[in-house]
Amino acid sequence: MFAYLTGKITYRSPAVIHLDVQGVGYEIQISLNTFSQIAGLEECRLYTYLHVQEDAHTLYGFYHPEEKEIFCLLIGVSGIGAATARMILSRLTPEEVHRAILSEDEQMLSSVKGIGPKTAKRLILELKDKMLQLTSSRITTPTDAPTSPADAFAIPSHNSFARDALNALIALGIAKQTAEAAVSKALKEATPQSLEDLIKRSLKYA
């Protein structure tokens, strides 16, 4: 229904943004990968996918069309819903998903919450040929992307940092108690260099 939307960002979190398009506000679900790409931007274009369910219509947005393409491939696999596909693209970059499937790296895929060994094998089996049609250059992080997490995020305080990461995990569908434990473990592991860094490390424990 919508190929893409271009507008002003009026609200932003690691899991959802509000995009003002000529006075109409769209709530758009995003991956952590897209969140890192739009850090610091006041306006952006997102390539969108409208996920239609019996009880809800949910709009997903992606900063690059290649990420949207991989998202669509993922949800085409039996047992992979939109929420799980977004989780995959929050834990792994599009390039990492592409590489993991082509190299049959079940361990990398299984590192994503909700993806067990059987599902990882199914992803490889069903998507390897389709991934071969995507060149790695098409899904490599572009040169205009933030050069490092530290460049993309400026967090005013450690407590705010942890709270934002916790809210992001909950928005991704992780239970609050589980999310709290995951963030706590990630903080003990090392001092986070960015919000994205903390969220990604927390996802390993969720």
Give me the domain span that covers residue 82. Answer: 65-139
pLDDT at position 138: 56
Segments of the chain with pLDDT less than 50: 136-137, 141-158
> Which of 139, 161, 192 marks a domain boundary?
139
Does one domain contain both 33 and 80? no
> Which of 92, 112, 139 marks a domain boundary?
139
User: Which CATH number belongs to the domain containing residue 53 in this structure?
Assistant: 2.40.50.140
User: Which CATH number belongs to the domain containing residue 97 in this structure?
Assistant: 1.10.150.20
Model confidence over 79-93: pLDDT tens digits? 999 999 999 999 999
pLDDT at position 135: 54
Q: Is residue 165 assigned to a domain?
A: yes
Q: Is residue 113 assigned to a domain?
A: yes
pLDDT at position 159: 56
**Domains held by the chain: number:** 3
pLDDT at position 201: 86
Q: Round to whole Å and give the CA distance between 177 and 174.
A: 9
Q: Round to whole Å and give the CA distance between 120 and 60.
A: 23
Q: Is residue 33 assigned to a domain?
A: yes
Q: Is the pTM of this model over 0.95?
A: no
Q: Is residue 144 assigned to a domain?
A: no
Q: Is residue 125 assigned to a domain?
A: yes
Q: Is residue 131 assigned to a domain?
A: yes
Does one domain contain both 117 and 155? no
Does one domain contain both 39 and 51? yes
> Which of 85, 111, 139 marks a domain boundary?
139
